Amino acid sequence: MTPTVELRTFHSIEPARQDLLAVYADVRADLLHLPNYAVSAFAERLDRHSQEPGWEAILAYEEDQPIGYAYANTIDSDDRWWKRVTPPPSAEYTDRHAVALKEIGVRIPWRGTGIARRIHDALLADRNEPYVTLMVNPLAGNGKVHRLYESWGYEDIGQSQPSAASPVLAAMVRSVG
């Protein structure tokens, strides 16, 4: 019998924090030596993001072990997310609230199985915002991750460098529905 993957939704950080950190450390294992990718840097971002409006996380579990996650929150036109994108994004995206997909990751044995898409779609399923935006390192996986988001309907709208330690990221957007 094949184990089934269960998706769990969280609206507060405490019940999910340790599982998020564990999956993150595994997913980013080859990058943890870089300051921006260190578990401590992720933990700081996670704690800050979890206090922002509309924060929600989806974790995937197989046999009660966390195998993947995504989390997001609501942003508005004044959010620093949009202010760091160059060129400035169209008002079409910024004049109303949007969902900012802050992180998504799946442990290696479950990559390529559709779990990331299931997590992503579950995260957006009950959102009321018209658009979702994310930032991706265009070099990740030799461009494979960027192409995956394009296959999910995301389009490039600019670039962003959230911090001095961060690589330059591609800012992408698509409709939630």
User: Which CATH number goes with the domain that contains 121?
Assistant: 3.40.630.30
The number of distinct structural domains making up the chain is: 1
Please provide the DSSP assignment of 121-161 as one string.
HHHHTT---SEEEEEE-TTGGGGHHHHHHHHTT-EEEEEE-
- The pLDDT score that the predictor gives to residue 2 is 54
pLDDT tier, 32 (very low <50, low <70, confident <90, very high otherwise): confident
Q: What's the pTM value of the predicted model, to 2 decimals? A: 0.92
Span of 2-6, 52-56, 115-119, 159-163 with lowest mean pLDDT: 2-6
Domain holding 110, by residue range, is 5-175
* Average pLDDT of the chain, as a whole number: 93
Mean pLDDT, residues 17-28 taken together: 96
